Amino acid sequence: MKTLPHYLNGEFSAGNSQRTSPVYNPATDEQSAQVALATADETREAVRIAEEALPPGLKPSPLKRARILFKFKALVEEHTDELARLISSEHGKVFSDAKGEVTRGLEVVEFACGIPHLQRVNTP
């Protein structure tokens, strides 16, 4: 049975708890994998690492954020079919519906990419 590990600080880890939880394909109700559960200490460590990833006071400008979102948009477009397959297996949707979900998500990203322009328009 495939075990989904933790992903922490750019690395995969099985964790220390030895506890897992089943992951089911909702379309078939069959167990498709299991996920490693974290200990309380591992969870605290994950929060600490996440907090350190963006130091306080370091707030990217709206333009920088939009550029990051444009890169994200390109990656989603490049991997649309793969993402749709994941949505299908994790949420029980047929592939065409899952692909539509990815497209609707891209519409949200496209809107967010335009926010810096909207901010300038509303600035006196």
Question: Do 45 and 1 have their domain in common?
Answer: yes
Q: What does the pLDDT read at residue 122?
A: 53
Q: What does the pLDDT read at residue 63?
A: 84
Q: What does the pLDDT read at residue 70?
A: 95
Count the domains in the chain.
2
38, 56, 74 — which closes off a domain?
56
Question: Do 86 and 105 have their domain in common?
Answer: yes
Q: Order across the sheet with 30-36: list the strands.
A: 3-4, 30-36, 20-25
- Location of structure tokens 């909207």: 118
Q: What does the pLDDT read at residue 64?
A: 86
Q: What does the pLDDT read at residue 90?
A: 82
56, 81, 97 — which closes off a domain?
56
Residues of the chain with pLDDT under 70: 57, 120-124
Do the Cβ atoms of 23 and 56 come closer than 8 Å? no
Q: Which residues contact 8 (CB under 8 A, 6 or more apart)?
A: 42, 45, 46, 49
**What is the gyration radius of the CA atoms in the chain, in angstroms?**
19
Does the pTM surpass 0.85? The reply is: no
Question: Do 26 and 76 have their domain in common?
Answer: no
Question: Do 48 and 74 have their domain in common?
Answer: no
Do the Cβ atoms of 15 and 39 come closer than 8 Å? yes
Question: Do 65 and 87 have their domain in common?
Answer: yes
How many whole angstroms separate alpha carbon 70 and alpha carbon 57?
A: 24
Question: Range of 12's domain?
Answer: 1-56
Q: What does the pLDDT read at residue 42?
A: 94
Q: What does the pLDDT read at residue 124?
A: 54
Question: Do 120 and 100 have their domain in common?
Answer: yes
Question: Do 4 and 26 have their domain in common?
Answer: yes
Question: Do 49 and 65 have their domain in common?
Answer: no
Q: What does the pLDDT read at residue 77?
A: 97
Q: What does the pLDDT read at residue 61?
A: 82
9, 24, 56 — which closes off a domain?
56
